[in-house]
Chain A
Amino acid sequence: MDLDEDDFVFFGTPIEREEEITSRKKKAVAEASGQLRTLPVWKQEVTDEEGRRRFHGAFTGGFSAGYYNTVGSKEGWTPQKFVSSRKNRAEVKQQSILNFLDEDERADLEGQSLGTSMQFDTFGFTAAELARKQAEKEQQQRPSAIPGPVPDELVLPATESIGVKLLLKMGWRHGHSIKDSRPSSLYDARREARKAFLAFSSDDAKAQLAESESVQGNLESITEQPTNDDVQSHQNTPVYVRNPKQDLHGLGFDPYKHAPEFREKKRSRMSGKRETGNRKADSAKDNLFGFKSGNVAPGFGIGALEEFDAEDEDVYAAGFDFVDTYVQEVEEPSKLMTDSKPKLLAKETGVLPGFRVASNSDYQLERFDPPVIPKDFVPCHKFPGPLETNYRLADPPPPEVPPPEDNNLKLLIEGVATLVARCGKLYEDLSKEKNQSNPLFNFLTGGNGHDYYTRKLWEEQQKRTDQSRQQVDVKQSSSMRKMTAESRGKILGERPLERSIKDLSSSVASAEGIQLQFNLSDTFTEPASSSGLHEAVKPFKDDPAKQERFERFLKEKYQGGLRSTDSSGSSNMSEASRARERLDFEAAAEAIQKGQWGKESKHFSATGGMQFTSGGVEQAKGTEAEDLITKKMFPKREEYQWRPAPVLCKRFDLIDPYMGKPAPAPRMRSKIDTLIFTSDSAKETKVEETIIANRDFSMLQSDVQGISQDVAIKENEVEVEVENVERPVDLYKAIFSDDSDDEGETTSLNKVENPEKKIEAATTTLNRLIAGDFLESLGKELGLEVPPDLPQSTNMAKTPASQKEAANTNVGDSNILPVKNNPSSTVFSETLNHEVPHNRKIAIESRSDKNEVIHGKLAKSVGIYMETGSTENNLDKVDLEKRVHEDSKAKTPSSRRKNWNSNSSSEDERSRKQSKRHRHRSGDSDSDSSSDHRDRYRSRSKGRKKESSREKSGSSRRHSKHHKHRSRDSPGRSRNDSDREHREAKREKRRKRD
């Protein structure tokens, strides 16, 4: 048992068994017999009579120590029982104090213990008690700092032990060394007699005055001799006299502990004060008599009342100090209370010895002059404008900065600036708050594009104020008076020439030379939209109203974001149609621009004009049909793979449809893919379908799609290890459609695509139209009134629709091999997937850097297909992007890509959280990867409801947006962590599977 206890720590009382007890008893007996006595001390154990261990450590004993160390009974303190009946009455027990005493106490009480008697108890309680009583007695006569009887608790007089008393009786006095320093016996005798007398009269250091008086009388005759020797012997045992505490400091606190010089100073100051104020203290300081009469020296009896001579005075020098401090301390509180004002003065005059007042101090109270009020300031606030925008007028215009390279961002900034100018600062605050986490809105808080934003905002405000000024009447004439040339020019529609020139010179580094050039060229054109350039180009000739709007649009566009808010002509149009028209204008404008730069405007006006008009007509038709389309769009039915849990099937009493099939549920894994590679939660249908096919194929099941799959496989035969992943045909078309320089493989296929194109066009336009009014919806969401003509001013699509059309017709998607025309079931072979990319990618990449237009086209066409091909576009898009990157950057083996694809078709369901995280990260990485491609809608931090509502309305827009602005970013940049990570994981998985 002991061994066990050495190794282990036990808690609680062990359950005792019979044999254990007996063995223990045996052990105890053995111990008692002395067998174990031989053990060294630290091994011996104290046990009780039953052999149990008596003492326990805090950790080893604990509870098991039980009551052995406490009351002594198992029950603890038990109340006494009292039973009394008629027959046997309980006798009344007389309780005595002995009942309640411990044994040692009882022994004490019974006088069995020896102790020091009170008298000889030097440090004990009893002596102290006695001394206190005595002190109390003396209290009456003694002068005290505290009026009235001193509370006992505060004053505990020290007792004098019997030894001290004896010494005193022998002639020793406090403060004297114990030695015989008196050769003169006579003197000795005299002294002794006096001392004894005094000692008897009082053992306290401070004797009472009356007594001392009498003593004086008595001893007059004897004390003629100066006590020279006393002086010498005095030093040995110093006498400490307590001063009553009368200051405001805490107990034991000495303010001068570390600065004794201050004590000196203070004393001197106090004495100085006393001279003026306190007569008594003055005398105490100055003449001995005053001292004698006023304050009794602490050491009473040391010839205190004898005649003093020079040495005597010296003797009391120390005592003097004490008294002095004492007095001084007395003074302090009153001084504090009464004259706090002169204190400052005293501080200045009373400088420490060794210090002097500095002639110039470092510390100076800095005072500022009050702000100078301009002479023309009228202390009455006027509100010249309807909004608070006017105050900005006073601000110096922020420097004109080139717009950020990211066109998307630029648009956003412009839009927000317009909104802010229109709706006030509140909007800015709101959107700032709302979009805190959105990197796209960094410009609000001073991030990228902030300068541009401020500039834009200022311009907008300027514009607005100008407008409001135009509306103002006589009231505002005062503000009108101060109109500068610039503002006048603004009203008149002039372009401020000097500023743009200045900017041109200042912002040399700006890459946007084109923009500035435009500004310049615009400066010289009349604002009445009758300029040569724009007059010559009238794409909407047959619709004068539209043409007018277009011109206005052009003007606005090239004036760098200054947009007139009162586009009266279009106010009767619906927002959607306006957005549509706007896109149209954009396209036209771009075409014009192109034509101008290419110096072939003539040619353009001939062809382009027709194009646009036709486009316009189409648009008009579209607007009417638009509502119908939206209606048609919903409800949208999609179907996915979904794998119910076996238990669920069981509980629903159904047969598991996936029973016996491989464990990984394809649906879930593909979902994760989308989550990873799409910035938002777009659903993938087509992928789903293809996946099904894939799976089916792998299981050698023949399906409807299996056939197509077979086709794919046949084409695929070359690469055996590659798993087939079919891509919807339109995706590939989208990717490579605009590669006009492509080697034509199957040109005839073009025709097959054509019917689709119509739908695509429609959906695209719809798309863009929806995308157009993002800011407005944002504004609405923020709960602000947004003027209805907003979307026109906010969003510009970059690529002209016509261009895109052309591109589409161009689309010599020779590389595409549509197995089926039906988009939902079209299957693509992997061979195509990357045979084609290989030669094409390079082209894409090379173009990607310089040729924005084509890229825009590309992106857009992708967007189109995404619309038609329903929802998995995001995935595909990223896929595309990846593809491009991969080839351009690392020349990754195609097999890897393939694996990636194939893996995407068979991975297991993952936990929700993970997928969520993935989604989130993918969102981030997306925004990282391409600055343009940032999603405006991605503001996840917002309320879910809101988001969702936006999401649902904007889900389709989002796609288009993504693609529209993706064009310019460099592929290399978009390689992001999540992608890589994901691929890693994929590879890992594949390896595992293999």
Chain B
Amino acid sequence: MSELEVPGKEANVLKGHEGAVLAARFNSDGNYCLSCGKDRTIRLWNPHRGIHIKTYKSHAREVRDVHVTPDNSKLCSCGGDRQIFYWDVSTGRVIRKFRGHDGEVNAVKFNEYSSVVVSAGYDQSLRAWDCRSHSTEPIQVIDSFSDSVMSVCLTKSEIIGGSVDGTVRTFDIRIGREISDDLGQPVNCISMSNDGNCILASCLDSTLRLLDRTSGELLQEYKGHTCKSYKLDCCLTNTDAHVTGGSEDGFIYFWDLVDASVVSSFRAHSSVVTSVSYHPKDSCMITASVDGTIRVWKT
């Protein structure tokens, strides 16, 4: 039964990136997706029709992460050039460039109101940038991490960052507290469950760990894939029934959320699966890989 729920059929292959694709993200309604990669471009696709819509070029180095506002009007991207670009989607122009990170920027996210971009950098910091004002200075620098921050998640009132120092830190703006959950293993990527109660953290010991956000409890560990040196994404499916993540051998794994059994795993790419993104509503997933392709998977 669960087999059926998990996407395993290749619906489309999005080709266009020259070189590794480092991230692929659905937009908020799941009709489009964005990808970015080593070829320094950001590409906008319609994954369902397999169409390449637009290319955004301005980054000087590889683009590591991209995020789009809920209203699809703005993009933010970050990459090896230590900058965060704030784009206009339709014109493809860079509205603002945020400089300030002392190292590569690993991840970037908009907040709920698309007024703030929060970036996670190799310089062990999370930085919040204001999109409303014209200031290009960060409005907040969080540097309590002791190693490269790999991933960032935002809720309405919290900033959550996962770092190589093994911690997942939740910065609650509402109460002004920082909650640090030390996992003991470098955290590659974090993603929130759709109900917002759990955090899935991909650790470099080839384990995904599911944390309860309120208590900091380790709920489950998911193993089987290989994740030792790459930044590999992981996420929960739209129903929160499964956990999915890529592997360095080109496989995609699906685990049952509760009993951590591998529900499905198949070879999706010829090389490392760098990024997975699950459709917010449908049972559809995109995966990006070092082999330069983005694949769309459906049930």
Interface residues of A (CB under 8 A from B): 630, 633-645, 647-649, 651-655, 657-658, 667, 671, 681, 683, 912-913, 915, 944-945, 947-949, 951-953
CB distance from B186 to the nearest CB of A (A): 6
A to B CB contacts below 8 Å, 29 in the list: A634-B182, A635-B211, A635-B217, A636-B182, A637-B180, A639-B178, A639-B179, A640-B144, A641-B178, A644-B171, A647-B139, A647-B140, A648-B128, A648-B140, A651-B111, A652-B112, A652-B173, A655-B174, A657-B173, A671-B144, A912-B141, A913-B102, A915-B143, A944-B148, A945-B148, A948-B164, A948-B186, A949-B164, A951-B147
Structural contact, B181 and A637, CB atoms closer than 8 A: yes
Chain B contact residues, majority secondary structure: loop
Q: Which residues of B contact A913 (CB under 8 A)?
A: 102
3 tightest A-B contacts by CB?
Answer: A637-B216, A681-B146, A642-B178
Structural contact, A657 and B174, CB atoms closer than 8 A: yes
Structural contact, A638 and B176, CB atoms closer than 8 A: no
Structural contact, B115 and A651, CB atoms closer than 8 A: yes
Report the separation of the CA atoms of residues A630 and B205 in the bound assembly, to the nearest whole angstrom: 14
CB distance from A531 to the nearest CB of B (A): 44
Structural contact, A951 and B173, CB atoms closer than 8 A: no
Q: Which residue of B lies closest to A632 (CB)?
A: B218
- In addition to A635-B211, A637-B215, A643-B176, 12 A-B residue pairs with Cβ atoms within 8 Å of each other are A635-B209, A645-B128, A649-B173, A651-B116, A651-B132, A651-B139, A652-B113, A681-B146, A912-B141, A944-B147, A945-B148, A952-B185
Structural contact, A642 and B143, CB atoms closer than 8 A: no
CB distance from B179 to the nearest CB of A (A): 5
Structural contact, B116 and A657, CB atoms closer than 8 A: no
B204: interface (CB < 8 Å): yes
Q: Which residues of A contact B166 (CB under 8 A)?
A: 634, 948, 952
Structural contact, A648 and B139, CB atoms closer than 8 A: yes
Structural contact, A945 and B164, CB atoms closer than 8 A: yes
Q: Which residue of A lies closest to B180 (CB)?
A: A638
B125: interface (CB < 8 Å): yes
CB distance from A690 to the nearest CB of B (A): 16
Structural contact, A912 and B182, CB atoms closer than 8 A: no
Structural contact, B179 and A637, CB atoms closer than 8 A: yes
Report the separation of the CA atoms of residues A974 and B285 in the bound assembly, to the nearest whole angstrom: 59
Structural contact, A647 and B130, CB atoms closer than 8 A: yes
CB distance from A468 to the nearest CB of B (A): 34
Looking at chain B, what size class is its interface with the partner chain?
A: 35 or more
CB distance from A592 to the nearest CB of B (A): 37
Report the separation of the CA atoms of residues A609 and B270 in the bound assembly, to the nearest whole angstrom: 62
Structural contact, A652 and B176, CB atoms closer than 8 A: no
CB distance from A880 to the nearest CB of B (A): 23
Scoring A636, A638, A644, A915 by chain B CB atoms within 10 A of each residue's CB, the highest score goes to A644
B122: interface (CB < 8 Å): yes
Structural contact, A641 and B177, CB atoms closer than 8 A: yes
B156: interface (CB < 8 Å): yes
B157: interface (CB < 8 Å): yes
Report the separation of the CA atoms of residues A589 and B284 in the bound assembly, to the nearest whole angstrom: 65
B184: interface (CB < 8 Å): yes
Report the separation of the CA atoms of residues A654 and B175 in the bound assembly, to the nearest whole angstrom: 10
Report the separation of the CA atoms of residues A512 and B5 in the bound assembly, to the nearest whole angstrom: 72
Q: Which residues of A contact B215 (CB under 8 A)?
A: 637
Of the candidates A648, A945, A949, the one whose C-beta lies within 8 Å of that of B173 is: A648
Interface residues of B (CB under 8 A from A): 102, 111-113, 115-116, 122-123, 125, 128, 130, 132, 139-144, 146-148, 156-157, 164-166, 168, 171-186, 204, 209, 211, 215-218
Q: Which residues of A contact B182 (CB under 8 A)?
A: 634-638
CB distance from B118 to the nearest CB of A (A): 9
Q: Which residues of A contact B178 (CB under 8 A)?
A: 639-642, 667
Structural contact, B144 and A639, CB atoms closer than 8 A: no
Structural contact, B176 and A945, CB atoms closer than 8 A: no
Report the separation of the CA atoms of residues A668 and B65 in the bound assembly, to the nearest whole angstrom: 28
Structural contact, B173 and A633, CB atoms closer than 8 A: no
Of the candidates B115, B125, B148, B181, the one whose C-beta lies within 8 Å of that of A912 is: B125
Q: Which residues of B contact A653 (CB under 8 A)?
A: 113
CB distance from A528 to the nearest CB of B (A): 44
Report the separation of the CA atoms of residues A169 and B95 in the bound assembly, to the nearest whole angstrom: 93
Of the candidates B102, B147, B175, the one whose C-beta lies within 8 Å of that of A948 is: B147
Q: Count contacts between A and B, CB distance < 8 Å.
A: 136
Q: Which residues of A contact B156 (CB under 8 A)?
A: 652
Report the separation of the CA atoms of residues A952 and B123 in the bound assembly, to the nearest whole angstrom: 17
Report the separation of the CA atoms of residues A654 and B155 in the bound assembly, to the nearest whole angstrom: 12
User: With contacts A951-B147, A951-B165 known, is A636 near B181, CB below 8 A?
Assistant: yes
Structural contact, A645 and B140, CB atoms closer than 8 A: yes
Q: Which residues of A contact B183 (CB under 8 A)?
A: 634-635
Structural contact, A912 and B164, CB atoms closer than 8 A: no
Q: Which residue of A lies closest to B141 (CB)?
A: A912
CB distance from B131 to the nearest CB of A (A): 8
Report the separation of the CA atoms of residues A641 and B169 in the bound assembly, to the nearest whole angstrom: 12
Q: Which residues of A contact B165 (CB under 8 A)?
A: 681, 948, 951-952
CB distance from A764 to the nearest CB of B (A): 19
Structural contact, B184 and A952, CB atoms closer than 8 A: yes
CB distance from A910 to the nearest CB of B (A): 10
Q: Which residues of B contact A644 (CB under 8 A)?
A: 140, 171, 173, 176
Q: Which residue of A lies closest to B115 (CB)?
A: A651
CB distance from B111 to the nearest CB of A (A): 6
Report the separation of the CA atoms of residues A43 and B172 in the bound assembly, to the nearest whole angstrom: 78
Q: Which residues of B contact A655 (CB under 8 A)?
A: 174
Q: Which residues of B contact A912 (CB under 8 A)?
A: 102, 123, 125, 141, 143
Q: Which residues of B contact A658 (CB under 8 A)?
A: 176
Q: Which residues of A contact B218 (CB under 8 A)?
A: 634-635
Q: Which residues of B contact A944 (CB under 8 A)?
A: 122, 147-148, 164
CB distance from A783 to the nearest CB of B (A): 13
Q: Which residues of A contact B113 (CB under 8 A)?
A: 651-653
Report the separation of the CA atoms of residues A649 and B128 in the bound assembly, to the nearest whole angstrom: 11
Structural contact, B186 and A638, CB atoms closer than 8 A: no
Report the separation of the CA atoms of residues A637 and B212 in the bound assembly, to the nearest whole angstrom: 11
Q: Which residues of A contact B181 (CB under 8 A)?
A: 635-637
Structural contact, A948 and B148, CB atoms closer than 8 A: yes
Scoring B132, B139, B156, B157 by chain A CB atoms within 10 A of each residue's CB, the highest score goes to B139
Structural contact, A949 and B116, CB atoms closer than 8 A: no
Scoring A651, A667, A945, A947 by chain B CB atoms within 10 A of each residue's CB, the highest score goes to A651
Structural contact, B171 and A654, CB atoms closer than 8 A: no
User: With contacts A635-B216, A948-B164 known, is A642 near B142, CB below 8 A?
Assistant: yes
Report the separation of the CA atoms of residues A641 and B216 in the bound assembly, to the nearest whole angstrom: 17
Q: Which residues of A contact B139 (CB under 8 A)?
A: 645, 647-648, 651
CB distance from A673 to the nearest CB of B (A): 13
CB distance from B23 to the nearest CB of A (A): 19
Q: Which residues of B contact A947 (CB under 8 A)?
A: 147
Report the separation of the CA atoms of residues A276 and B217 in the bound assembly, to the nearest whole angstrom: 109
User: With contacts A653-B113, A671-B144, A952-B165 known, is A640 near B180, CB below 8 A?
Assistant: yes
Report the separation of the CA atoms of residues A949 and B204 in the bound assembly, to the nearest whole angstrom: 9
User: With contacts A642-B171, A657-B175 known, is A635 near B143, CB below 8 A?
Assistant: no
Q: Which residues of A contact B171 (CB under 8 A)?
A: 642, 644
Q: Which residues of A contact B177 (CB under 8 A)?
A: 639-642
Report the separation of the CA atoms of residues A658 and B132 in the bound assembly, to the nearest whole angstrom: 22
Report the separation of the CA atoms of residues A652 and B113 in the bound assembly, to the nearest whole angstrom: 7
User: With contacts A647-B130, A671-B144, A945-B186 known, is A683 near B180, CB below 8 A?
Assistant: yes
Report the separation of the CA atoms of residues A651 and B115 in the bound assembly, to the nearest whole angstrom: 6
Q: Which residues of B contact A637 (CB under 8 A)?
A: 179-182, 215-216
User: With contacts A641-B178, A642-B171, A644-B173 known, is A949 near B115, CB below 8 A?
Assistant: no
Q: Which residue of A lies closest to B229 (CB)?
A: A945
Q: Which residue of B lies closest to A634 (CB)?
A: B184
Q: Which residues of B contact A952 (CB under 8 A)?
A: 165-166, 184-186
Structural contact, A652 and B125, CB atoms closer than 8 A: no
CB distance from B69 to the nearest CB of A (A): 13
Q: Which residue of B lies closest to A630 (CB)?
A: B184
Q: Which residues of A contact B140 (CB under 8 A)?
A: 644-645, 647-648
Report the separation of the CA atoms of residues A912 and B146 in the bound assembly, to the nearest whole angstrom: 12
CB distance from B192 to the nearest CB of A (A): 16
Q: Which residue of B lies closest to A659 (CB)?
A: B176
